[in-house]
A and B are shown apart, each in its own frame.
Chain A
Amino acid sequence: MLPLISIVLATLAAGTAATFVAGTRARYVALGVSAAFLAEVGLMFAAYPGWPGYNGALVPGFAEQESHAWLHLPWLQINYTVGVDGISLVLILLTAVLQLATVVYSWEERERPAAYFGLMLLTCFGSFGVFAALDILLFFLFWEAVLVPMFFLIGGWGGPRRRYAALKFFVYTHVASIVMLVGLLAIVFYSGATSFDFSAVYASARGLGVLPQSFLFLALLFGFGVKFPVVPFHTWLPDAHVEAPTGGSVLLAGILLKLGGYGLIRWAVEVLPQGFAHDRPILFAVAFLSIAWGSIVSLAQRDMKRLVAFSSINHMGIVLLAIAVGSSLGLLAAVLLMFAHGIVSGLLFMSAGTVHHTFGTRDLGALGGITPTTPVLSTMIMAGSLASLGLPALIGFPAEFTALLATWERLGYWVLLPLGILVVTAAFYLWMMQRVLFGPPRGIPPGAHDVSFSEGAGMGLLVAATVLFGILPSLLVNVIVSSPVKGFPGP
């Protein structure tokens, strides 16, 4: 069988290198690499035993697994081990779709395009690696490999306060990843795992007592939580989003935040089930805080990017809640939510970028009635907002519905809190759309024109994904539920 994951990594690595040196033709290389990436992910889906038809059987372990010795010292057994299961496959698909859409959207980038596209591809390379890595050190390497290109994307192509935002982003996430690394190493050394492989750590960590597990779980929660981001470690996110260039924002919200969610599921919840069970109250508290804080603060924003950024905190809070519920249904909801949020926030950030350079402002209070001038852009904003507030037949609906169902199943009437917030947010979105898209024209500069072809194509791709997976969520659900849920406590 072909080592598909290594082939994808090689494609992305070689493609990134080629993009960096391609000069003004970088965008063609980037497009080719992105298309190849998506095709390879399609192959991975096709080869996955649980897809497309779900026959009720669980797929044990990981598909596409490869393992080679990397660094073997008497006390360190580090391997190049990669593999995917349903959870990582869905997030890999998200990475491939967003990469393609972002490259298309950024087609007209004129400022150092080779470096711009190269850094974007590098970010996706690292993210793919994070989702595919099954060895602690490998996971950490890819995790950090995402950090550096994003730092340069924000710092090199961002808005007026980009230096501050880039440095803040780097410092927050770097400190968090160090804590995460210490936590993962502590699991290895204190549990006496024979190697750094997921399977070895998974097997041996169960031998740890409840208290060590819960302590380590908290360390990992901090490490992954900053990336999520959960309140109160979220303050880097609005700054990074507002200052980042549009492509950077899309990857940041669409993929980078998912790294936190994925890491929490794979390396904390699955590896430390007792610690997870013990620390669930903390997870609930943090999740509710993030949901409430994110939505309330987003209501007060006038800058469209800040608004989407804070609503991201809200949505990722729901993801955390779904994880904390601790059931198969909750896990399904969390993964679906992450996929949905990735696509939808990407769409919204692209809209915000286009709004900014069409109207010269992202201040929603200053704009009104833009639909007659920019009908396509308005459609995109509309699609993104409706998907974000969970309209049926769009991707947001199955995700949020599952999340609420899972919460209800385990927590009863606590579900009213996220539900109430969802209703308020939905109302706010509708009111905003009504004013900005359909009200009397305001703040429209003369000569404003609708989206360019490439921008429209990039956003259209995401709208298509929103509709496709909104109508046929089973395409994703089957893959997720056919993976065994590793490590949930009790039924």
Chain B
Amino acid sequence: MSVTDVLATGAEFAPVLIVLGSALLAFLLDVVGVRRLEAVGGVVVAGTGVAFLLVLADLGLGFLGPLRTIPAATVNAVPAAGASPLYAFTSFGLVFQALFLVAAFLVGLASLSRDSHEAGAPIFYGLLGLATVGMLLVAVASDLIFLLLAVEVTSLATYLLVGYTRRGARPLEAAMKFYIIGAASSTLSFFGASLLYGAYGTTNLYRIAAVAGGVGYPVLALLGYGFLIAGLAFKTTLVPFHAWAVDVYDGAPTDVSAFLAGGSKKVGVFAFFLVFLGPVLYVHPGAPGNPFSGGPIALGPIVQLTLAVLAVLTMTVGNVLALLQREMKRLLAYSSISQAGYILLGIAIGTSPALAGATFQALAHVLSKGAAFLVVAGVAGLGVGPLVDDWRGLGSRRPLTCAAFSLLLLSLAGVPLTIGFVSKFVLFSAAVEAQGYFVWLAVAGLLNSALSVFYYARILRAMYFEAPAGGDAGAPPLTSRLAAGGLGYGRAAAIAVATLAVVALGIYPQPVLGPIQAAATHFLGLGA
């Protein structure tokens, strides 16, 4: 490896290294005694911000210029036997890196406004940075073990994030539950990977594709894929592997919930993309040169149907259970589960429009759900209780916050002129475009989004149309030290940025959706 190669690699890894450095610096500051929230947080927020800009530059002058598609030859050449590159930078992976960094940046920025007397600020920001490093690595994996290890890096950091406050039993319980479930799901994933290794003698995703093209699908491999789906389904909170998510999102500090729902869940989503779509094209039936169409067992249709069923089940169960919730965080958690169903829909369909739609839906979810949790955290800091009913009449008392929250909820419901509408529109139109039974997936998705309107409307109704129990005078005073100043600058800025993006991308999505579409097409071409 020559010096220029090392430098080139360094340049590609620069975002990862910067975030890693900022995370380590956060821990270091703790050691040397600098524990000011602004200082420690500022390092990590700045790190993620710079890394985000670098990723955009890597994609080719951000979204201003044409997308830089990495030459296919350097990525999709099946590695020679023996050689097994662990990572590959694809433009699609970079899109997801950008998405992960947006989530980390927003959560980091908002958390600058937390109670500065709260212990553990360096730990929080250090762990946030480490979790982000894992996510960034997931996005460039080309090897199954590398992928699962990167997922594990994220998971370990997020287990700790859930319980880092050490205050009260609920976060601890949530962390414990998260850890046990997470460990179990990792076991499933690794077991599946080991079965695949047994079947094909390699863990490189491109080589697996090449070998499977020759030997087809022994039972061992099918079992392996089954375990992988189950393991990743836990991470992605798919029904029936979802039950942990609500308790964890509910019990975790709300900023952490924002990161879990908005950011780290997408790790599982990307892993799904990577295992079933990118290098190997298990799912996309019509792809030219699909090596599996003539195999003895056609894996594609099985995987496709499995994922489709999981997707419909996930969005339906998530939505129905969300209807029954009275607590704000649990409601958002269930709605988050249903949103995972929409994203999975894109994987099940497996065409490049669907993949672009799913990716855009993931972005919509990062912005809308992440920021919604950030609002909930801020409002809880003002002394508002956990129930939806506690939000009664808040619309006139905190008009700006509630206006932003309304826009975010409308986006989650898929109401036009928000990003949530565009993403669902693209996704469902991709399903209709794919024809076949996918049209019914679109119908299921549409019915589900109609259903979801009920519970979002209930929140809007509480905020704007209902008086607090006991009338306006009887409303509990907004108690916190922040009551006078609002949510704090960092949180307000994060919410404002996310809300503006939600509206701007809802009105004119082309500058972001165009590159995503190009990257998705390129990604699907890798396995061809």
Determine whether B442 belongs to the interface, using a CB cutoff of 8 Å to chain A. yes
Query: Among A69, A75, A140, A163, which residue has its beta carbon within 8 angstroms of that of B461?
Result: A163
Q: Are A73 and B457 in contact (CB under 8 A)?
A: no
Query: Among A73, A144, A162, A167, which residue has its beta carbon within 8 angstroms of that of B415?
Result: A144
Which of the 9-residue segments A168-176, A268-276, A278-286 touches chain B?
A: A168-176
Distance in Å: Cβ of B399 to nearest Cβ of chain A: 10
Determine whether A186 belongs to the interface, using a CB cutoff of 8 Å to chain B. yes
Q: Are B353 and A74 in contact (CB under 8 A)?
A: yes
* Docked complex Cα distance between A137 and B426 (Å): 11
Distance in Å: Cβ of A193 to nearest Cβ of chain B: 12
* Docked complex Cα distance between A152 and B432 (Å): 33
Determine whether B437 belongs to the interface, using a CB cutoff of 8 Å to chain A. no
Residues of A within 8 A of B457 (CB): 167, 170-171
Residues of A within 8 A of B454 (CB): 171
Determine whether A178 belongs to the interface, using a CB cutoff of 8 Å to chain B. yes
Distance in Å: Cβ of A338 to nearest Cβ of chain B: 24
Q: Are A152 and B464 in contact (CB under 8 A)?
A: yes
- Mask, A431-457, CB within 8 Å of B = 1, is 000000000000000000000000000
Determine whether A148 belongs to the interface, using a CB cutoff of 8 Å to chain B. yes
Answer whether A73 and B416 are a contact pair too, CB < 8 Å, given A137-B425, A156-B465, A175-B450: no
Residues of A within 8 A of B433 (CB): 75, 189
Distance in Å: Cβ of A159 to nearest Cβ of chain B: 13
Answer whether A155 and B443 are a contact pair too, CB < 8 Å, given A75-B353, A148-B415, A174-B450: no
Question: Which residues of B493-520 are within 8 A (CB) of A?
Answer: 508-510, 513-514, 517
Query: Among B416, B426, B432, B508, which residue has its beta carbon within 8 angstroms of that of A189?
Result: B432
Q: How many A-B residue pairs have CB under 8 A?
A: 75
> Counting chain A CB atoms within 10 Å of each CB, which of B432, B453, B465, B510 scores highest?
B465
* Docked complex Cα distance between A354 and B13 (Å): 71
Distance in Å: Cβ of A334 to nearest Cβ of chain B: 27
Determine whether B311 belongs to the interface, using a CB cutoff of 8 Å to chain A. no
* Docked complex Cα distance between A39 and B353 (Å): 44
Answer whether A71 and B417 are a contact pair too, CB < 8 Å, given A76-B426, A185-B432: no
Determine whether B446 belongs to the interface, using a CB cutoff of 8 Å to chain A. yes
Residues of B within 8 A of A70 (CB): 508, 510
Chain A residues bordering chain B, tally (CB within 8 A): 31
Distance in Å: Cβ of A401 to nearest Cβ of chain B: 40
Residues of B within 8 A of A182 (CB): 442-443, 446
> Counting chain A CB atoms within 10 Å of each CB, which of B449, B453, B466, B521 scores highest?
B453
* Docked complex Cα distance between A148 and B464 (Å): 13
* Docked complex Cα distance between A72 and B356 (Å): 13
Distance in Å: Cβ of B468 to nearest Cβ of chain A: 15
* Docked complex Cα distance between A163 and B426 (Å): 33
* Docked complex Cα distance between A180 and B254 (Å): 38
Residues of B within 8 A of A174 (CB): 450, 453
Determine whether B430 belongs to the interface, using a CB cutoff of 8 Å to chain A. yes
Q: Are B415 and A155 in contact (CB under 8 A)?
A: no
Question: Which residues of A182-240 are within 8 A (CB) of B?
Answer: 182, 185-186, 189
> Which A residue's beta carbon lies closest to that of B425?
A137
Residues of A within 8 A of B508 (CB): 70
Q: Are A144 and B416 in contact (CB under 8 A)?
A: yes
* Docked complex Cα distance between A76 and B443 (Å): 19
Determine whether B429 belongs to the interface, using a CB cutoff of 8 Å to chain A. yes
Question: Which residues of B424-466 are within 8 A (CB) of A?
Answer: 425-426, 428-430, 432-433, 435, 442-443, 446-447, 449-450, 453-454, 457, 461, 464-466
- Mask, B351-380, CB within 8 Å of A = 1, is 011001000000000000000000000000
Residues of B within 8 A of A185 (CB): 428-429, 432
Residues of B within 8 A of A148 (CB): 410, 415
Residues of B within 8 A of A175 (CB): 450
Determine whether A141 belongs to the interface, using a CB cutoff of 8 Å to chain B. yes
Determine whether A166 belongs to the interface, using a CB cutoff of 8 Å to chain B. yes
Determine whether A145 belongs to the interface, using a CB cutoff of 8 Å to chain B. yes
Query: Among A137, A141, A156, A170, which residue has its beta carbon within 8 angstroms of that of B464?
Result: A156
Q: Are B429 and A75 in contact (CB under 8 A)?
A: yes
Q: Are B461 and A73 in contact (CB under 8 A)?
A: no
Q: Are A178 and B416 in contact (CB under 8 A)?
A: no
Q: Are A73 and B353 in contact (CB under 8 A)?
A: yes
The SS class assigned to the A binding surface is helix
- Mask, A145-165, CB within 8 Å of B = 1, is 100100010011000001100
* Docked complex Cα distance between A181 and B433 (Å): 14
* Docked complex Cα distance between A156 and B465 (Å): 6
Distance in Å: Cβ of A70 to nearest Cβ of chain B: 7
Distance in Å: Cβ of B432 to nearest Cβ of chain A: 5
* Docked complex Cα distance between A182 and B432 (Å): 9
Distance in Å: Cβ of B288 to nearest Cβ of chain A: 16
Query: Among A73, A140, A155, A171, which residue has its beta carbon within 8 angstroms of that of B465?
Result: A155
* Docked complex Cα distance between A69 and B464 (Å): 37
Residues of A within 8 A of B510 (CB): 69-72
Answer whether A171 and B453 are a contact pair too, CB < 8 Å, given A71-B510, A144-B415, A163-B461: yes
Question: Which residues of B376-435 are within 8 A (CB) of A?
Answer: 410, 415-417, 422, 425-426, 428-430, 432-433, 435
Answer whether A178 and B449 are a contact pair too, CB < 8 Å, given A73-B353, A76-B429, A156-B465: yes
Residues of A within 8 A of B429 (CB): 75-76, 185, 189
Residues of A within 8 A of B509 (CB): 71
Question: Which residues of A46-105 are within 8 A (CB) of B?
Answer: 69-76
Q: Are A145 and B416 in contact (CB under 8 A)?
A: yes
Residues of A within 8 A of B426 (CB): 73, 76
Question: Which residues of A126-151 are within 8 A (CB) of B?
Answer: 137, 140-141, 144-145, 148
Distance in Å: Cβ of A434 to nearest Cβ of chain B: 41
Distance in Å: Cβ of B360 to nearest Cβ of chain A: 10
Distance in Å: Cβ of B211 to nearest Cβ of chain A: 32
Q: Are B417 and A141 in contact (CB under 8 A)?
A: yes
Q: Are A163 and B465 in contact (CB under 8 A)?
A: yes
Q: Are B517 and A166 in contact (CB under 8 A)?
A: no
> Which B residue's beta carbon lies closest to that of A76?
B429
Q: Are B461 and A155 in contact (CB under 8 A)?
A: yes
Distance in Å: Cβ of B178 to nearest Cβ of chain A: 36
* Docked complex Cα distance between A171 and B457 (Å): 10
Distance in Å: Cβ of B115 to nearest Cβ of chain A: 33
> Which A residue's beta carbon lies closest to that of B442?
A182
Distance in Å: Cβ of B186 to nearest Cβ of chain A: 37
Query: Among B417, B428, B461, which residue has its beta carbon within 8 angstroms of that of A145?
Result: B417
Residues of B within 8 A of A74 (CB): 352-353, 517, 521
> Which B residue's beta carbon lies closest to that of A73?
B517
* Docked complex Cα distance between A362 and B475 (Å): 35
Q: Are A71 and B513 in contact (CB under 8 A)?
A: yes
Answer whether A178 and B450 are a contact pair too, CB < 8 Å, given A73-B517, A137-B425, A167-B457: yes
> Which B residue's beta carbon lies closest to that of A147?
B415
Distance in Å: Cβ of B121 to nearest Cβ of chain A: 38
Distance in Å: Cβ of B66 to nearest Cβ of chain A: 14
Residues of B within 8 A of A73 (CB): 353, 356, 426, 513-514, 517
CB<8 Å pairs between A and B, sample of 29: A70-B510, A71-B510, A73-B517, A74-B352, A74-B521, A76-B353, A76-B426, A137-B425, A140-B416, A141-B416, A148-B415, A155-B461, A155-B465, A163-B461, A163-B465, A166-B465, A167-B457, A170-B453, A171-B453, A171-B454, A171-B457, A178-B446, A178-B450, A181-B446, A182-B442, A182-B446, A185-B432, A189-B432, A189-B435
| Residues of B participating in the A interface, judged by any CB pair closer than 8 Å | 352-353, 356, 410, 415-417, 422, 425-426, 428-430, 432-433, 435, 442-443, 446-447, 449-450, 453-454, 457, 461, 464-466, 508-510, 513-514, 517, 521
| Residues of A participating in the B interface, judged by any CB pair closer than 8 Å | 69-76, 137, 140-141, 144-145, 148, 152, 155-156, 162-163, 166-167, 170-171, 174-175, 178, 181-182, 185-186, 189
Additional 14 contacts, C-beta under 8 A, given A74-B352, A74-B517, A178-B446? A71-B422, A71-B510, A73-B517, A75-B430, A75-B433, A144-B416, A163-B466, A167-B457, A171-B457, A178-B450, A182-B442, A182-B443, A185-B428, A185-B429
3 residue pairs, one from A and one from B, having the closest CB atoms: A144-B416, A141-B416, A155-B465
